[in-house]
């Protein structure tokens, strides 16, 4: 079956703990897993930033703050496993190797963060490489990649398609403090370039959009792809 890796941004699944969207996402992911081998990497969200800020207030170094962020991503991953019930493998994978080990049983494999100085986007990119995924999808709280931050620059334009090299140029200007909030981090962009796995950056605020784009040929977000063939719409015998 086609392997698909989703980076489900904390800003989408846990904008805050109380504002979680677990109930909306669980049926979407469960239905999707009937058509593809599904891996989901969960981000930290608003709560991770609060914990990181509390750690910083104690004069902790950035790597320590990252470790705090990783724990929150794993806590969020645990909550997603609970929401998915029997559709998910019951343990959070702590690294891509474990994720591969837990796959192949028809269950959704869920991960959080792995190591400091990156974000869960990088985790998802490495996992996509290890799993030889057909596609990596980054579900985030913007509708694609822009030439500049659209909130700050009214002249910013959205890319519907770009190459990994163009992505590296756009991402190159971002910083890497714990809890920082770029659409895709530099490590992820570099792994996308070397693995040649297409990356789709998609608005995750409406969970229904994912299925439409994967299977119905609807075009949305930004597709980061070189000269390889576009995998969309995904071929499956049983679309959800």
Residue given tokens 């756009």 in the structure block: 170
User: Is the torsion defined by CA of 93, 61, 16, 154 positive or negative?
Assistant: negative
Does residue 222 touch ligand UTP according to CB under 6 A? no
Q: 24, 181, 212, 220: which one contacts ligand UTP (CB under 6 A)?
A: 181
- Our finding on whether 48 is near ligand UTP (CB under 6 A) is yes
Instruction: Check: CB of residue 76 under 8 Å from CB of residue 40.
Output: no
Please state, in angstroms and rounded to a whole number, the distance separating the CA atoms of residues 221 and 142. Answer: 9
Return the number of other C-beta atoms located less than 10 Å from residue 221's C-beta: 26
Min CB(34)–ligand UTP separation in Å: 26
Residue that has been written with the tokens 């750690």 in this structure: 55
Looking at the DSSP bridge assignments, the partners of residue 38 are: 4
114: its two tokens? 């792995």
**DSSP SS3 for 88:** strand
Binding mask 182-211 for ligand UTP (x = CB under 6 A): ------------------------------
β-bridge partners, 111: 41, 93
Residues 117-146 binding ligand UTP (CB under 6 A) are: 118-120, 123, 140
Binding mask 56-95 for ligand UTP (x = CB under 6 A): ----------x--xx--x----------------------
Q: Which of 96, 164, 179, 221 binds ligand UTP (CB under 6 A)?
A: 179
Nearer to ligand UTP among residue 10 and residue 231 (C-beta): 10
In the bound state with ligand UTP, the residue whose beta carbon lies nearer, of 29 and 35, is: 29
Nearest Cα to 189, choosing from 180, 181, 199? 199
Longest pairwise C-alpha distance within the chain: 54
Closest contact distance (angstroms) between CB of 52 and ligand UTP is 6
With binding defined as CB under 6 A, does residue 96 bind ligand UTP? no
Applying CB under 6 A, what is the total number of residues that bind ligand UTP? 24
Identify whether the C-beta of residue 93 lies closer than 8 Å to the C-beta of residue 70: no
Q: Which spans of this chain sit near ligand UTP (rule: CB under 6 A)?
A: 9-11, 43-45, 48, 66, 69-70, 73, 113-116, 118-120, 123, 140, 178-181
């Amino acid at each position: 079956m086609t392997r698909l890796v989703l980076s489900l941004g904390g800003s989408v699944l846990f904008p805050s703990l109380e504002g979680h969207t677990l109930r909306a996402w669980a049926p979407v992911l469960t239905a999707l897993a009937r058509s593809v081998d599904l891996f989901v990497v969960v981000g930290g969200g608003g709560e991770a930033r609060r914990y990181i800020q509390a750690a910083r207030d104690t004069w902790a170094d950035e790597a320590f703050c990252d470790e705090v962020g990783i724990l929150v991503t794993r806590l969020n991953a645990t909550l997603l496993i609970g929401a998915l019930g029997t559709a998910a493998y019951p343990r959070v994978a702590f690294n891509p190797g474990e994720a591969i080990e837990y796959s192949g049983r028809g269950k959704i494999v869920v991960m959080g963060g792995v190591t400091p100085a990156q974000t869960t986007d990088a985790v998802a990119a490495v996992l996509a490489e290890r799993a030889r995924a057909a596609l990596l999808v980054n579900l985030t709280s913007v509708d694609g990649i822009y030439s500049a931050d659209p909130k700050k620059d009214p002249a910013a334009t959205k890319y519907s398609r770009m190459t990994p090299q163009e992505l590296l140029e756009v991402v190159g200007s971002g910083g890497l403090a714990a809890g920082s909030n770029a659409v895709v981090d530099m490590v992820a962009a570099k792994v996308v370039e070397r693995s040649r796995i297409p990356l789709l950056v998609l608005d995750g605020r409406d969970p229904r959009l994912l299925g439409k784009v994967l299977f119905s040929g609807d075009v949305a977000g930004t597709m980061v792809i070189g000269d390889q063939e576009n995998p969309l719409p995904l071929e499956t015998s049983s679309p959800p």
